[in-house]
Structure 1
Amino acid sequence: METLVEPSEDRLVIGGTANLARGNALDFPGTFRPLLEALEEQVVVLRLMSQVDASTVLVRIGEENAHEALTGASFVSVGYGSGDRALGGLGVVGPTRMDYPMNMAAVRAVARYVGHLLAES
């Protein structure tokens, strides 16, 4: 619970980056290393996550991503919290040909679940 609500400092948790290597997930072969390097630079991910809100799923495809290293990937994110106030955010990075409806539904469902957990505590 403490990981989900830490208002005093920005906290970033990244998991599943090895999944990006499965089955040539990225559309352009030269984008894999720069993408991993961008994910390691927490500032890049924090900048992306700073744009989330609790009521809207944000989808950025390819060149819609501001950081050059993310132009071969897509980013689906949403905030979680109480009401329309986002206490944090979560997202999925994947290939530009990902299953968008499934990933959008997944991040929204997990965000709602986390929001309900926070509301109960």
Structure 2
Amino acid sequence: LTERTRQLVEPVVGALLDQIAANRQEKLVMAGAANLVRTEHDFPGSITPVLEAIEEQVVLLRLFDEMATDQHGVAVSIGRENAVFGLTEASILSSGYSAAGSDVARVGLLGPLRMDYSGNMAAVRAVARYLSRLLGDQ
């Protein structure tokens, strides 16, 4: 960006970030839930607890809050680690993204125990980095 453009854009971005921070809500935004039921073998016990967790949202929000992040910025919770949330048949991957040096939210993936962990971890991390860059944090 040119210096002039930067001078024009920075106050607008700052004001937007202030509004986001002031109106922050804990909310789950979902996409691709239909992909969870593509094959019957992905959730051998039952997919019902997974669908209920998606519908209730608070379960997944609590799970995201409790997940520990690794050195690469990705949190992973697999099977039995999710027992308290009733999601022993599922794995959850997430990574936080930020703006103006503070955490904004997390992007995540919920899927079966059988998944491409390394590929999905890289994808979740890449999306989080992209969102941080888009919000001007990197």
- Considering the TM-score relative to the shorter chain, is it more than 0.5? yes
Aligned-residue identity in percent:
46
Pair 1:87-2:104 in alignment: yes
Tell me, yes or no, if the aligned pair for 2:74 and 2:94 is still in contact at 8 Å. yes
Cα separation, partners in 2 of 1:6 and 1:42, compared to 1, 3 Å: farther
TM-score by length of 1: 0.82
Distance 1:64 1:6 in 2: 32
Shift of 1:36: 0.2
Question: What SS does structure 2 have at the residue aligned with 1:23?
Answer: coil
CA distance in 2, matches of 1:86, 1:46: 15
Q: Does 1:73 align with 2:86?
A: no
Q: Which residue of 2 aligns with 1:21?
A: 37
Tell me which of 31, 40, 59 is aligned to 2:46. 31
* Structure 1: 4+ residue segments shifted above 6 A: none
What does residue 12 of structure 2 align with?
Answer: none
Q: Is the 8 A contact 2:63 2:85 kept in 1?
A: no
2:62 alignment partner, one of 28, 33, 47: 47
C-alpha deviation, 1:91, in angstroms: 0.6
Q: 5+ unaligned residues in a row in structure 1: which ranges?
A: none
8 Å Cα contact 1:25-1:95 kept in structure 2: no
Q: Contact between 1:75 and 1:92, CA under 8 Å: does it hold in 2?
A: yes
2:9 corresponds in structure 1 to none
Query: If the length of structure 2 is used for normalisation, what is the TM-score?
Result: 0.73
1:63 is matched with 80
In structure 2, C-alpha distance between the alignment counterparts of 1:20 and 1:34, rounded to whole Å: 12
Aligned residues, how many? 115
CA RMSD of aligned residues (A): 2.5
Give the residue type in structure 2 aligned to 1:45: L
Unaligned runs of 5+ residues in structure 2 are 1-15
* Kept in 1: contact 2:95–2:128 (CA 8 A): yes
